[in-house]
Structure 1
Amino acid sequence: MVNSKEFSKRLQKVFDYYELNASSFAEKVGVGRASISHILSGRNKPSLDFVMKIINEFPEVELYWLLNGKGNFPKSEVIPSSPISTKSFPPQEKASIENPNTKNSLSTTNPINTTHKSGATAQQKTIERVIIFYNDGSFDSFTPNE
């Protein structure tokens, strides 16, 4: 749940960063001035529509930071994380590229064994779902067709 008092402080930081007052901020976001006043005073909590208008209008505002205070503002100050280690991934076979000038010949390739044997038992693992998270807070979910 969003803490209205803390949300108001973060909203004030957005005002200061963009050098806006509550009235000009309301106009830029497309909400009534009274809405801003009520949120700043703690009378009303911010709606999802209000939060999304802020995120869409001000790209430097990070959704998670605005709602929970965790993260960075502005986004440009985000410190890049360390790269993912490739040691945790099994080595893959490299495919050779055939010369297109050769005669039409079909070659067969052996499929890569994707099962991982741990201990005395082996389990066949399959992908159930892939979820992609975007930096604007949205996501896509993909389920493989069998």
Structure 2
Amino acid sequence: MINSAEFTGRLQKVIDYYNESASSFAEKIGVQRSSISHILSGRNKPSLDFVMKVLNSYPEVELYWLLNGKGNFPHHPLDNQTPPPKISEAQKKLPSENGNQISIPTEAEKENQITPPPSDSEIEKIVIFYKNGTFKSYKP
């Protein structure tokens, strides 16, 4: 069970870390200002929806830390990983062994790249996600 007083302290730490007022924090996560006020005063306990809005708006906030105080804040998920080596623009255009230029895709190109499925696969469902949070699902 979540200790409300400790949760409130951690929530206040998040608000202070980002130099937000309770009002601007509420606006950023998409809740009413009174919700923040009631949680900070201890009148109300945070809902799951409230916690998820905090996590979605502030990726450096770790769920386990926010709920239980264990873990790190701010959480930087890439801290434990070695970053990939930087490739200069000149290196991207070096000729390969057969004389053709090597084309290294940009991050945007990688994001839009589609990997073909194995030849024995069938399409079960196609889902299109829209930026407004809605989606459409199609079955062949």
TM interval, shorter chain, is: 0.5 to 0.7
The residue aligned with 2:60 is: 60
The residue aligned with 1:91 is: none
The residue aligned with 1:73 is: 73
Structure 1 residue 41 corresponds to structure 2 residue 41: yes
> Which aligned segments of 4 or more residues in structure 1 are displaced greater than 6 angstroms?
none
Larger RCO, structures 1/2 (Cα 8 Å, 6+ apart): 1
The Cα shift of 1:78 comes to 8.4
**Aligned partners of 1:72 and 1:78 also within 8 Å:** no
Structure 1 gaps of 5+ residues are 82-146
The residue aligned with 1:23 is: 23
Residues in 1 aligned to 2:6 and 2:59: alpha-carbon distance in whole angstroms: 20
Structure 2 gaps of 5+ residues are 82-140
Q: Counterpart amino acid of 1:71? A: G
RMSD of aligned Cα (Å) = 1.8
Question: With structure 2 as the length reference, what TM-score do the two structures score?
Answer: 0.54
* Alignment coverage as a number of residue pairs: 81
Residues in 2 aligned to 1:52 and 1:29: alpha-carbon distance in whole angstroms: 9
Q: Percent identity?
A: 73
Q: 1:72 to 1:78 in 2, by over 3 A?
A: farther
The Cα shift of 1:17 comes to 1.0
Question: With structure 1 as the length reference, what TM-score do the two structures score?
Answer: 0.52
Q: 1:40 to 1:26 in 2, by over 3 A?
A: same
